[in-house]
Chains A and B, each alone.
Chain A
């Protein structure tokens, strides 16, 4: 699975958009990009994923560059409850065997009132 690089921390003002970048320059053609977040003492929460196209759901938008070497998670209107560690994961889905996830150090997003 491709390695990802994320900034260790970011701040965002409440109500503004939070843009979290992720670099995955060694990504291969069949690897998906997944975003999760983890609030202290809770299990990781799935946010969004994509392969090539930009994606949007009720939580966030995922923008993947045309060369797929980087992506950005966008939380359109950050709230205090969005303060968490955000993880960008790249991996090939497998039909057989384990599809275990490797969480790196992520980006600690702090939403400021």
Chain B
């Protein structure tokens, strides 16, 4: 069966510090991968998605970036965090087409001080 792992679960970072969140998927190949951010009491905001290694599409301009160095690895990064980067970050995967659902990781709660 397929599983998705995100780490760390929680993170507290000072303003201006760098960020690296990692997501890995097991038990499948060639998944589409997604990074979302969920603000408190609000819906999901799509940040990045990837359909293959090295292929990244950005949905919202910001000081975050994403990379996909391996088929089942998706990384969210920032060189200098802003207070507004606080939130709940979710990684998800699915197989495209045919109505296949997305499956989410447990998320990373990021607090910027």
- Tell me the A residues contacting B by CB distance below 8 Å: 32, 34, 41-46, 49, 51, 93-105
Question: With A98-B57, A102-B44, A104-B43 given, is the CB distance from A43 to B99 under 8 Å?
Answer: no
| A96-B106 in contact (CB<8A) | no
User: Which chain A residue lies CB-closest to B107?
Assistant: A43
> B98: which of A34, A41, A93, A103 is its contact (CB, 8 Å)?
A93
| B43-A103 in contact (CB<8A) | yes
User: Which chain A residue lies CB-closest to B90?
Assistant: A43
For the complex of A and B, 9 pairs with smallest distance between CB atoms: A43-B104, A100-B46, A103-B43, A32-B99, A95-B97, A93-B99, A43-B107, A98-B49, A46-B101
Is B78 part of the binding interface, using a Cβ–Cβ cutoff of 8 Å?
Answer: no
- Tell me the B residues contacting A by CB distance below 8 Å: 6, 32, 34, 36, 43-44, 46, 49, 51, 57, 59, 88, 90, 92, 94, 96-107, 109
| A93-B97 in contact (CB<8A) | yes
**Inter-chain pairs besides A100-B36, A102-B44, 15 sampled, C-beta below 8 Å:** A34-B101, A41-B88, A44-B44, A49-B101, A93-B100, A94-B96, A94-B97, A95-B96, A95-B97, A96-B96, A99-B49, A99-B96, A99-B102, A101-B44, A103-B43
